[in-house]
Amino acid sequence: MAAKDLWSTDPRDALRVGPDFDLASFDRNGQPGWDGDKDDGQAYLPERGEEMSELQERLFAEGREGGKRSVLLVLQGLDTAGKGGIVRHVVGMVDPQGVALASFGVPTEEERSHHYLWRIEKELPPPGRIGVFDRSHYEDVLVVRVDELVPEDVWRARYDEINAWEKELVEGGTTIIKVALMVSYAEQGERLMERLERPDKHWKFNPGDLDTRSKWPAFQEAYADVFRLTSTEDAPWYVVPADKKWYSRLAITEILTRTLEELDPQWPVADFDVEEMKKALVATGEDAPA
Ligand code: AMP
Ligand code: MG
């Protein structure tokens, strides 16, 4: 039996940042648009994953035949928000051939010697691919702003610059989906503690995460400005409650799948005579030539 589709509102409408968005009152434990519970969500997820995977393969085939379209999923969120889980559990449902994944950490010396978009541009998805950014150019107006890594006039100028840059990308055939996973302070505390309590999770913990946590209000303010200043018609932000991992995975899968459905990529038509090829194949016989 098919699992039930319990989306009462398209998550793109339920989660898109509009002019009235208010991060301070945003419920990080919510499940906007989904009328079911966790079990319903977990039952529905693989179905949508399969649909997403087939559409991705079509997009890939289209790209092989000269199509120019691609998708870029930008993932932002503080430590423990679940970016890695989205990569593993959502993006992991599609053929890895069709995915171009890039993670952006502290810039290397070489990267720092270039414009901040230099390292980003190198990782843009080729046609037919779903690019996934685990952190992105937005770090250059988030951690860079909070830690005062450049003067204020420099980071302030970046919002407009990013909007213009993304607009160009969209005009070139890339559909940009920007997702911010917003975890609550209490939930982040629990997830960090779990990383400390479990030896198999120590590798995910970084003492600097506590430093970042201590700057929570400044990061919230920086995120609020990102949403206020860079959620554009061309490349809107979706703010996803991240305290329920099952919900964030379900919602992002749905956003990706519906986006691909609208792109509606088609299987390329063969540029050879299929019937003729069948005859030629039959003529090769069943026994290997001696
Ligand atoms: P993680 O994603 O846990 O591997 O951590 C990557 C770290 O790199 C985070 O602490 C980010 O804030 C940091 N980072 C990413 N981009 C930049 C940037 N442009 N400047 C400074 N730090 C950055
Ligand atoms: Mg980390």
Domains of the chain: 3-283 (3.40.50.300)
Residue to probe by mutation, ligand 1, list 116, 135, 195, 223, most atoms within 8 Å of CB: 135
Packing angle, helices 38-64 and 245-263, rounded to 10: 30
Residue to probe by mutation, ligand 1, list 116, 134, 139, most atoms within 8 Å of CB: 139
Q: Provide the β-strand partners of residue 133.
A: 74, 102
pTM above 0.75, yes or no: yes
Percentage of residues in the chain having pLDDT higher than 90: 99
pLDDT exceeds cutoff 90 at 168: yes
DSSP state at residue 100:
E
Which pLDDT value is given to residue 95?
97
Q: What is the average per-residue pLDDT within 224-229?
A: 98
User: Nearest C-alpha to atom 5 of ligand 1 is from which residue?
Assistant: 105
User: Nearest C-alpha to atom 4 of ligand 1 is from which residue?
Assistant: 105
d(CA 224, CA 84): 22
Give the distance (Å) from ligand 2 centre to CA of residue 204: 6
Q: What is the average per-residue pLDDT within 101-127?
A: 98
DSSP state at residue 286:
S
Give the distance (Å) from ligand 2 centre to CA of residue 198: 16
Give the distance (Å) from ligand 1 centre to CA of residue 169: 23
Q: What is the average per-residue pLDDT within 147-173?
A: 98
> In this structure, what token pair is assigned to residue 24?
């301070």
Average pLDDT, the chain: 97
Q: pLDDT, tens digit, for every residue of 23-76?
A: 999 999 999 999 999 999 999 999 999 999 999 999 999 999 999 999 999 999
Percentage of residues in the chain having pLDDT higher than 70: 100
- Who's near 225: CB < 8 A, 6+ residues apart? 141, 159
Which residues have their alpha-adjacent CB atom under 5 A from ion ligand 2? 79
Q: pLDDT, tens digit, for every residue of 191-210?
A: 999 999 999 999 999 999 99
Query: Ligand 1: residues within 6 Å at CB?
Result: 79, 104-107, 135, 139-140, 143-144
Q: Residue 33 — left, alpha, or beta (φ > 0 → left; ψ -120 to 50 → alpha)?
A: left
Give the distance (Å) from ligand 1 centre to CA of residue 109: 14
CB atoms within 10 A of CB 208: 10
User: Nearest C-alpha to atom 11 of ligand 1 is from which residue?
Assistant: 105
Which pLDDT value is given to residue 220?
98
Give the distance (Å) from ligand 1 centre to CA of residue 104: 6
Which pLDDT value is given to residue 290?
87
Give the distance (Å) from ligand 1 centre to CA of residue 30: 27
Burial class of residue 136 in the structure, from the number of CB atoms within 10 Å of its CB (0-12 exposed, 13-18 middle, 19+ buried): buried
Give the three-class secondary structure for 248: helix
pLDDT exceeds cutoff 80 at 85: yes
Instruction: State which ligand 1 atom lies nearest to the alpha carbon of 147.
Output: 21
Band (244; pLDDT cuts 50, 70, 90): very high
Q: What is the average per-residue pLDDT within 81-103?
A: 98
User: Nearest C-alpha to atom 15 of ligand 1 is from which residue?
Assistant: 105
CA torsion through residues 205, 210, 211, 213, sign:
positive
User: Nearest C-alpha to atom 12 of ligand 1 is from which residue?
Assistant: 143
Which pLDDT value is given to residue 1?
64
Give the distance (Å) from ligand 2 centre to CA of residue 78: 8
